[in-house]
Amino acid sequence: MPQIGEFTRTKSGFAGYVRTLTLDLEVSLTKAEATEGENGPDYRLFHGDGDLAREIGAAWARTGEKAGKYFSVLIDDPMLAQPIRANLFRNGESSVWSLQWTRPPKRNGAA
């Protein structure tokens, strides 16, 4: 599972980066406003600051048996062929969180 980013906690959420062969972004995860829907994201993912900030994704809090608390992250942009789905895990007891990506399995019959 390759690491494609690294984040640290801030007062309003997380700050960090996403880096792949085609992306090199400084980003922030900011606590989302409460919504009426139960499936709404817990955080919004932004690239840029202030008036130039653009929403490029979201994150949902999850809990796993082995991983404990982590975040399921979705990054999307019209320039991407499909959204990037990754998971943000805490690095042990440190304040650093790693964004990990795994290629989705091919569906039966897919080329």
- Residue 5's pLDDT is 98
- Residue 110's pLDDT is 59
Low-confidence ranges of the chain (pLDDT < 70): 36, 109-111
Tokens 């080329």, residue located: 111
Regarding pTM above 0.95, the answer is: no
Cβ contact 99:3 at 8 Å: yes
Task: State the DSSP string of 41-65.
Answer: -SEEEEESSGGG-EEEEEEEEEEET
- Residue 35's pLDDT is 76
Please state, in angstroms and rounded to a whole number, the distance separating the CA atoms of residues 99 and 93.
16
